[in-house]
């Protein structure tokens, strides 16, 4: 992928190769086509491509731009199947922007409430903005043909995921893979984390009632409230004063699994939050304990976001920000330094595809091996920094076993002073339904089929897909 510096410069220069230059207030479908074209070229993610693109459309069109780009990404593989059936021959590589417009047109016809004639006409007009008037006829004919014939066309497979992800889920979760795929295609809910240091979940629920915001508490996750409908954060009571933050219940569960240790902490306790950006778990750790937290991340830019979140919540005085590679901490952290280590490891993001649908286009099967190597390097690197008797919680937002149980099986085999702590009782029931513990005894350490940790599959109780494994460092006298 290109660097953010190069990417921003590219938008300032325009697209010289396609003879079209972006200007302020470009047609929203043309801007969406630019974003999707770069995404298909692996030249960025929605998180990096959308911010400069939003500056190119009027304020009134920003929500539409986000809907178009996220929507096409979510349903890309189904839309691509439709498009391939209707194209006589593939478009040239230099016309990938026209290909993106075709996908945008199909998405509007299939998934949006825009009147079909308006969706087609506005998409056709976007070809003119791309300075490719020859594409108007192709767009008009293909989209109108689909609108005319779609009731007669055979149904799609409907997975809307790349084949390699489907296969991986079938291998890992033969009884649940369809549910995971379906959940990955849904729009994610907006979930709040109530700051338990300032107010209780019940009390904050009352504030939402007073504000007319429909919601319900998330079963099993003490600090989580799910909204029936997303809203701007400034509409949330007490957001500016730190009463509440936005964070999925699965991410909140990480701190809940450490709650006994967090509640027992003192002002002299220290916690390391490795791979901390953007800082949701760092803030939750501080809200839940009296300890001080070192928030580590390899990206200085992303670590700045941690600082912003800490400042909003008034927690900056109890946190230290450390720019470092968690897989290579020699000379940066000391042995036996931390009471708790939270490793929110870099992963494929397969458990949060509903929130980041561009993962479907950006991730490749070979990434899993590379990520697993990196994940193991991180926990190996950080293990010496944990005090004897301390706890390390390994977390990923993945549902793939290669990044989860396989990594922790190797880790536990290498470190004889590491003992797994079972999580079911700490989870408030959230992990029981999809725990890797098995009635046939495969949850017993030492067995060849033993699978450490616990997995929450995407969509269970409306939550994102996360994996958790808690290990304790055996004290020296205990090991002896």
Annotated active-site residue 397? The verdict is yes
Residues whose CB falls within 8 Å of the CB of residue 89, separated by 6 or more in sequence, listed in order = none
Q: Within 10 Å of residue 353's Cβ, how many Cβ atoms? A: 30
Could you identify the residue written with the tokens 């497979």? 157
Please report the DSSP string for 389-437 in residue order.
Answer: EEEEEEEES---GGGTHHHHHHHHHH-TTEEEE--GGGGTTTTTTT-S-
> Which of the 8 DSSP states describes residue 383?
G
Q: Cis before residue 278, ω within 30 degrees of 0?
A: yes
Q: Which one, of 118, 31, 21, 116, lies nearest residue 68 by Cα?
A: 31
Q: What CA–CA distance (Å, rounded) separates 49 from 61?
A: 16
Provide the residue count of the chain.
480
Q: Which one, of 242, 220, 223, lies nearest residue 233 by Cα?
A: 242
Q: What CA–CA distance (Å, rounded) separates 280 from 338?
A: 20
Q: Which of 255, 283, 397, 469 is catalytic?
A: 397
- Whole-angstrom distance between the N-terminal and C-terminal Cα of the chain? 50
Give the pair of three-digit tokens for residue 438.
């098995």
Q: Is 422 exposed, middle or buried (0-12, 13-18, 19+ CB in 10 A)?
A: middle
Q: Which one, of 191, 253, 256, lies nearest residue 225 by Cα?
A: 191
Q: 74 with 359: CB under 8 angstroms? A: no
Q: What CA–CA distance (Å, rounded) separates 407 from 76?
A: 31
| Angle (nearest 5°) at CA 76 between 72 and 79 | 95
Q: Which active-site residues does the annotation give?
A: 397
């Amino acid at each position: 992928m290109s660097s953010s510096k190069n990417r921003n410069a590219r938008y300032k220069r325009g697209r010289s190769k396609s003879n079209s230059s972006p200007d302020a207030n470009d047609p929203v479908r043309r801007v969406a086509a630019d974003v999707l074209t770069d995404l298909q070229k692996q030249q960025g993610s929605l998180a990096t491509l959308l911010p400069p693109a939003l500056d190119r459309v009027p304020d009134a069109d920003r929500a539409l731009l986000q809907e178009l780009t996220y929507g096409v990404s979510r349903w890309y593989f189904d839309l691509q199947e439709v498009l391939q059936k209707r194209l006589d021959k593939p478009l040239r590589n230099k016309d990938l922007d026209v290909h993106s417009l075709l996908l945008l047109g199909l998405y509007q016809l299939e998934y949006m409430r825009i009147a079909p004639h308006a969706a087609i006409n506005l998409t056709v007009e976007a070809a003119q903005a791309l300075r490719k008037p020859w594409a108007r006829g192709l767009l008009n004919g293909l989209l109108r043909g689909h609108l005319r014939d779609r009731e007669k066309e055979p149904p799609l497979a409907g997975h809307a995921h790349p084949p390699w992800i489907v296969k991986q889920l079938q291998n890992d979760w033969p009884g649940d893979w369809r549910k995971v795929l379906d959940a990955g295609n849904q729009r994610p809910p907006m979930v709040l984390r109530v700051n338990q240091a300032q107010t209780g979940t019940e009390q904050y629920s009352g504030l939402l009632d007073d504000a007319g915001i429909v919601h319900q508490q998330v079963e099993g996750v003490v600090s989580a409230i799910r909204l029936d409908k997303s809203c701007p954060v400034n509409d949330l009571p007490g957001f500016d004063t730190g009463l509440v933050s936005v964070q999925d219940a699965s991410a909140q569960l990480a701190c809940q699994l450490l709650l006994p240790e967090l509640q027992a902490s003192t002002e002299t306790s220290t916690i390391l939050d490795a791979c901390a950006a953007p800082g949701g778990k760092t803030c939750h750790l501080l809200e839940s304990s009296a300890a001080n937290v070192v928030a580590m991340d390899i990206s200085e830019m992303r670590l700045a976001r941690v600082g912003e979140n800490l400042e909003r919540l008034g927690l900056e005085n109890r946190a230290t920000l450390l720019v470092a590679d968690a897989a290579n901490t020699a000379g940066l952290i000391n042995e036996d330094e931390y009471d708790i280590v939270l490793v929110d490891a870099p992963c494929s993001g397969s458990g949060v595809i509903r929130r980041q649908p561009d993962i479907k286009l950006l991730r490749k099967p070979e990434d899993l091996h590379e990520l697993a190597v990196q994940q193991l390097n991180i926990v190996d690197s950080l293990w010496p920094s944990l005090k004897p008797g301390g706890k390390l919680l390994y977390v990923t937002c993945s549902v793939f076993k290669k990044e989860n149980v396989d990594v922790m099986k190797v880790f536990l085999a290498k470190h004889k002073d590491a003992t797994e702590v079972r999580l079911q009782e700490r989870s408030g029931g959230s992990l029981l339904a999809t725990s890797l513990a098995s009635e046939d005894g495969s949850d017993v350490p030492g067995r060849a089929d033993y699978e450490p940790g616990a997995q929450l599959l995407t969509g269970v109780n409306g939550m994102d897909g996360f994996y958790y494994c808690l290990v304790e460092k055996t004290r020296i006298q205990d090991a002896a």
